[in-house]
Amino acid sequence: MNPVLAELHDKARAVLDPVHYDFFAGGVGDEIVLADNEAAFRRHALLPRVLRGKGNSAEFPVLISPTAFHKLAHPDGELATARAAEGTVLVSSMASTVPIADVVAAATGPVWFQLYLQPDPRVTEALVRRAEQAGCEALVVTVDSPVFGRHRRDIANEFHDLPSGLAAENMRDLAGVAGPRDIEMAAFSWQDVDRLRASTSLPVWLKGVLHPADAVLAVGHGVAGIFVSNHGGRQLDVVPAALDALPAVVKAVGGRVPLVLDGGVRSGGDIALALAMGASSVGIGRPVLWGLAADGEAGVHRVLGVLRDEFEHVLAMCGGELSHDMVVARC
Ligand SMILES: Cc1cc2nc3c(=O)[nH]c(=O)nc-3n(C[C@H](O)[C@H](O)[C@H](O)COP(=O)(O)O)c2cc1C
Ligand SMILES: CC(C)CC(=O)C(=O)O
């Protein structure tokens, strides 16, 4: 691992309350998927093409994936993350500890709002209005969470509530409850996606799709794009690594909408592999949390800087182009 990312992770582990470290680091069940998300990148290799000049210089194809409760990591919370993002799309969690309007105000680049549809449609509606009024540029509906994942570390640590003074700020004052309300997980259907799309002019993405048939349905229901994601190994511990789920989704979608690969991305090489396998960009979760815990805004900034620098270096080594024929199994 890049020594800067390793240093930030070590520092985060050292400064965080161990219960909060476990919340950030942990996964569901035996944490098989958590480990496999990273291991999957090690099972693939890139065959660079040569003598192609410098090729294209790509944009930095990285988004900050939504993660909850940034004030558990650093007192500045999501404000620090937003300031550090600098043009990188920040997908702000519905479970942020700073209200979405303040996140957008602190950001220098685009902010998208991650949404868990709520059983009371008035709550969902109010959250969508809140995101629109704040100036968010897209909605990302997380669809891999009909129920909460069972995180053994949190259960063992009896971590159920935020410390006093912290709250999911977007959940206040919704549909007649002064709040903050609890975020509820519930099962929804494609009709709910249609209803959401009809209720807003914002582009609607889905996050947490693994089955190619669902990706095809998502395209049919007019989504703007899809996060191929297993929620960083936090929902179901029998699913494939996100990278292993990607090729079938790429094939099924056939370029009709952009695909974000999220889960286990830790280096510029990982970014390049995901792109070569057909992702339009990648999302990163935990590395941002480690940077934030270690050094607030500056720490997140360093994480993004390292990934950007490594990605550009790998791309230069590959003649500026990444395509599917360049990916082979690492025997
Ligand atoms: C501590 C933590 C909190 C998360 N909170 C959310 C969330 O509120 N909404 C959501 O859609 N995904 C959430 N995720 C999942 C991330 O968006 C993302 O899918 C995952 O972290 C990517 O994997 P990575 O951490 O290996 O990069 C969370 C992940 C972590 C680690
Ligand atoms: C508030 C939670 C539901 C956040 C989440 O999605 C997670 O911890 O993985």
pLDDT at 283 over 80: yes
Q: Which residue matches tokens 């590395």?
A: 287
Residue 258 exposure: Cα atoms within 13 Å on the Cβ side:
14
In this structure, are residues 211 and 251 in contact, taking their beta carbons and an 8 Å threshold?
no
Ligand 1 atom with least separation from CA of 66: 17
323 Cα to the center of ligand 1, angstroms: 27
Output the pTM of the full model.
0.98
In this structure, are residues 12 and 281 in contact, taking their beta carbons and an 8 Å threshold?
no
Ligand 1 atom with least separation from CA of 95: 8
**pLDDT score of 51:** 92
Catalytic residue among 231, 301, 313, 324: 231
Please name the residue whose Cα sits nearest to atom 8 of ligand 2.
Answer: 68
Backbone angles phi, psi at 217, to 5 degrees: -60, -40
Q: What angle do CA 153, 154, 155 make, to 5 degrees?
A: 90
**pLDDT score of 93:** 98
**pLDDT score of 58:** 72
Q: What is the mean pLDDT of residues 295-299?
A: 98
Q: What's the mean per-residue pLDDT of the chain?
A: 97
Sign, Cα dihedral of 69, 241, 112, 268:
positive
**pLDDT score of 101:** 98
Span 247-272, pLDDT tens digits = 999 999 999 999 999 999 999 999 99
Active-site residue 74, yes or no? no
Q: Helical H runs in the chain? A: 3-15, 18-25, 32-42, 77-85, 100-106, 121-134, 152-157, 190-199, 212-220, 242-253, 268-276, 286-317
**pLDDT score of 143:** 98
Q: What is the mean pLDDT of residues 166-186?
A: 94
Span 94-111, pLDDT tens digits = 999 999 999 999 999 999
Rg (CA), the chain: 19
Instruction: Give me the amino acid identity at 113.
Output: F
Structural domains present in the chain: 3-329 (3.20.20.70)
Give the start-end residues of each E strand in 110-190.
111-115, 139-142
Which of 78, 145, 153 has most ligand 2 atoms within 8 Å of its beta carbon, as the pocket-test mutant? 145
In this structure, are residues 112 and 182 in contact, taking their beta carbons and an 8 Å threshold?
no
Percent of the chain's residues with pLDDT above 70: 100
**pLDDT score of 53:** 83
Span 2-57, pLDDT tens digits = 999 999 999 999 999 999 999 999 999 999 999 999 999 999 999 999 998 877 76
**pLDDT score of 56:** 72
Percent of the chain's residues with pLDDT above 90: 95
In this structure, are residues 66 and 93 in contact, taking their beta carbons and an 8 Å threshold?
yes
- Please state, in angstroms and rounded to a whole number, the distance separating the CA atoms of residues 247 and 46: 15
The strand pairing partners of 206, in sequence order, are 141, 226
Cβ 215 under 6 angstroms from ligand 2: no
Span 109-163, pLDDT tens digits = 999 999 999 999 999 999 999 999 999 999 999 999 999 999 999 999 999 999 9
Cβ 71 under 6 angstroms from ligand 2: no
- CA 143 to chain centroid: 13
Q: Is the ipTM of this complex over 0.95?
A: yes
How would you classify the pairing of strands 327-329 and 44-46? antiparallel
**pLDDT score of 54:** 78
